[in-house]
A and B are shown apart, each in its own frame.
Chain A
Amino acid sequence: MSHSPSISLEGLNPEKFTLGARAGSLVGRFLVVGIVGLAVAAALGLTGDQGDLSRFLHAYTTVYVYFTSIALGALFFVLINHVTSAGWSVTTRRIAELVTGAFPLLALLSLPLIIAALMGTAEIYPWANPDGGLVPEGVAHLVHKKAGFLNAKFFAARMVLYFVIWIAMAAWFKSRSLAQDLSGDPAITNLFKKRSAPMIPVFALTLTFFALDLLMSLDPVWYSTIFGVYYFAGGFLCFMALLGILAKKFGAEDGILSGFIRDEHYHDIGKLTFAFVMFWGYIAFSQYILIWYANIPEETAWYHEREGLFWGHVGVLFLLKFLVPFVGLISRHMKRHPQRLVIFGGWVMVMHFYDMFFLGMPSHLNTLHYLEAQAGPATEAGKAWHHAAESFASMPFGIMELACLIGIGGLFVAAVAKSFASHSILAVRDPRLPESMTFHNP
């Protein structure tokens, strides 16, 4: 845990840092858990009552963007550390590289959403079927105007493009970095620096449009130019929180990276977590205050759905995702104490999920209310929609959401565990490893 001067960095064997069966045994278990979870969710969604399909697709999207944001945060961690020639992060960087191994799975998991769009399932994406009765009449012309961008085929093509890019980037960094474990070639580090720079704008644009496609377009009328930055800020924050947790897991006395992850690393991870707590709070506040202040109905409707219907989300989210970790992590002492870092890391990860829930799920309730109004509140169908809305509002996080969380979460853990099982989790011959082992925070 603390600085171990006795560790020799000569001739470190990557095999020694491979988790093997310790992670490998998780793969099968979580795969089963994931598949069962998703099967339950899909069964509930496809065969259940009125409104359950919408609830399934919204819950699925919410959980899906949550885990994708973590993988994107990991990819950004790799990119930013290479482009800045960072030395401190070397002993933790492989962890991020291995987390990005989840991208192929995430690509696969995008299929239900792509299929839903291609089938014109208006319950999740009203624009996918503009005449499907889920676009309010007053704004139908707007949705038609956007059809050049918001149409199922282009949506599908964009999703494929994002994942081709992310999988290629992640695979390149991972494979080159693993090759360096064997060769120790410093030229690879220089190449990382050179290539990561132009990848950052590509990353920024793909992430932005991913967020627009999956989350912002749930309400095809609403728009916010900061939305991509909002999604990025939360995702990177969530990954830093996860990194703190994994660093503690591997860096503890009996951990595989014991002695390699030092208090200085916890401190730096804590600082970045803290900084992104502030950055997320800043972005969330900026978006809110500008929309609140200008008070334009097209924009405020989105917040109205999110603060009026249940829990008064905006304030609660700000309090829980910003204020609590802000106060908690402000002191140096907290950041250097791994156990406390883990507690706040876990808190932040839960709050980021709440944030994604806040972005995604109110759209489900909105859909139900709209369908109720369409059918007429007095009719049978209207009553059924009303009932669905009531039952969701009374328990917004129910079996459906839990099943999706367990399903996608289980598969995500399985994919990451598989990645961890077969590779060294330390970049053993990174030329900056000695620096990462000796630096001190002032």
Chain B
Amino acid sequence: MSSQYDLEIQTALEDPTSRPHLVMGGATFASIDDDVAGVSEGFLKKTSLAWYAMFGASISVLAMLGAVVVYLISTGVGIWGNQSPVFWGWPIVNFVFWVGIAHAGTLISAILFLLKQDWRTSINRFAEAMTIFAVCCAGLFPAIHVGRIWVVYWLFPIPNQMEMWPNFRSPLLWDVFAVSTYATVSLLFWYMGLIPDLATFRDRATSKIRQGAYAFFSLGWTGSSRHWHRYEKAYLILAGLATPLVLSVHTVVSFDFAVSQLPGWHTTIFPPYFVAGAIFSGFAMVLTLMIPVRAIFGLQHIVTLRHLEVVSKVILATGSMVGYAYAMEFFVAWYSGNPYEQFAFTNRAFGPYAWAYWIMVSCNVISPQLFWFKKLRQSVPALFVISIFVNIGMWFERFVITVTSLSRDFLPGSWAYFQPTPFDALTLIGSFGLFFTLFLLFIRFLPIIAISEIKGILHKQESHH
């Protein structure tokens, strides 16, 4: 089935006088409704054992995370491997990893919207949902890492009788604002985009409960021209507001490291480099999740091979930016003539963590370079495998940055090799349980493709005939 669409795409791409169709297979407004709503409605018609199996597994992992967190709170952060001199171990690595993944959604829905990239309509809903879930996972780590979680509200500047305030000069506090703003705006953006589609679900609902629930969340949407007018205005404004957020969140995350004086952390390219890396990892996660989903639910005519190819190009571009940043860091460490800078980088590449460093380089710099080849950009298995490599590489990038610089600082007497404990691993695995539980619920109950936006580009497609 998919090969027929692929052939259509191929011929269309070779002709620069016209724009290839984004949605294939002679889709109509009605067929799009059926195809996308059909994903959720399909679960009503037939009990999906596969879904239950996956959901069961995910929620069990989530339960395990709950148990680990309870143990952590009752015992202390000592159950992790965080030890002198590496007091920032996996928790911050996982935090940055998940925040990074959360970047694709808003980039696609805001920046690509402003750039008039219509292809984004097939994947934006999906990526935005992924963004929200990844932010949930990210937010978990600093919260449970504070040690005394019962005073976690001290992170916020709440007036109190002790007149005690958080340190406004600490980038960790900026993080609290950056991430919570990002989570709020992403959620609003996602929810607002969902409203017309929730109304479609409502109108198609066959049971009273379903109808009532979708009616509640679609806020009385009727699709009148006044509704659309306001919707489009709000969408544009939100896109404009969200665009700087795509840059700001990971910039502030990079400040956590870069405002310090630690070689390997303190370098001026960190802000744009972190942002590029975040987009890189976010798009990789989009591919990792989208490839199976489109195959399972027969959405290859909406999320076509062309969409996957474009995503792979974004991965190639952002992966090359990350490679540029690695190279600049290395070159400037040499150029600086500063022995501490030089040591930090030779230690990364050839010291005790060389294995982690070279995993990072192979996954983040070398593997996306394979996307220079059209054959690999258009091979679904290759896309899938490389996207997994990128996910792995980006986790290791944060590991390398965090751990190598801390484990060998200015005082050789305090050097030590970081050893994670099983609880480090269980917390990381558990966060995937949270992510996939939310993700599976999303697939089951919400429109996984932006129906109304797809209809918008179908309209354009037709008018050009």
Contact = CB atoms under 8 A, between A and B. Distances in A.
A293 B320 CA distance: 29
Interface residues of B, number: 35
B255 A290 contact: yes
Given A201-B320, A224-B268, A289-B259, A432 B337 contact: no
A223 B336 contact: yes
A282 B320 CA distance: 21
A2 interface: no
Nearest to A186: B16
A228 B232 CA distance: 38
A240 to B, nearest CB: 15
A345 B159 CA distance: 46
Nearest to B271: A286
B17 A186 contact: yes
B14 interface: yes
A198 to B, nearest CB: 7
A296 B259 CA distance: 11
* B19, B258, B269: residue with the most chain A Cβ atoms closer than 10 Å: B269
Contacts of B328: 208, 225, 228
B272 interface: yes
Given A225-B328, A294-B259, A287 B268 contact: yes
A435 B372 CA distance: 28
Nearest to A285: B271
Interface string A430-442: 0110110000011
A363 B185 CA distance: 44
B15 interface: yes
Interface string B249-278: 001000100111100001111111000000
Nearest to B266: A294
Interface residues of A, number: 46
A156 interface: no
Interface in B13-57: 14-17, 19
A161 interface: no
A294 B260 contact: yes
Contacts, number: 93
A190 interface: yes
Contacts of A442: 116, 232, 236
Contact of B372 (A198, A229, A298): A198
Interface in B96-129: 114, 116
A189 interface: yes
Contacts of A271: 114
A207 to B, nearest CB: 11
Nearest to B317: A200
Nearest to A193: B16
A432 B17 contact: yes
Contact of A223 (B320, B324, B335, B372): B335
B247 interface: yes
Given A145-B337, A294-B259, A294-B261, A186 B15 contact: yes
Contacts of B332: 223-225
Contacts of A228: 328
Contact of A85 (B16, B244, B338): B16
Interface string A207-230: 010000000000001011111110
Interface in B256-311: 258-261, 266-272
A269 to B, nearest CB: 14
A227 B328 CA distance: 10
Contacts of B15: 186
Pairs A-B, 7 closest by C-beta atoms: A225-B269, A142-B337, A286-B271, A226-B268, A293-B259, A189-B16, A145-B337
Interface of A: 85, 87-88, 141-143, 145-146, 149, 186, 189-190, 197-198, 201, 204-205, 208, 221, 223-229, 271, 278, 282-283, 286-287, 289-291, 293-296, 298, 431-432, 434-435, 441-442
24 contacts: A141-B337, A142-B337, A146-B335, A149-B335, A186-B16, A186-B17, A189-B16, A198-B372, A204-B324, A221-B337, A225-B268, A225-B269, A226-B268, A226-B272, A229-B272, A283-B271, A286-B270, A289-B255, A290-B255, A290-B259, A290-B267, A431-B16, A431-B17, A435-B19
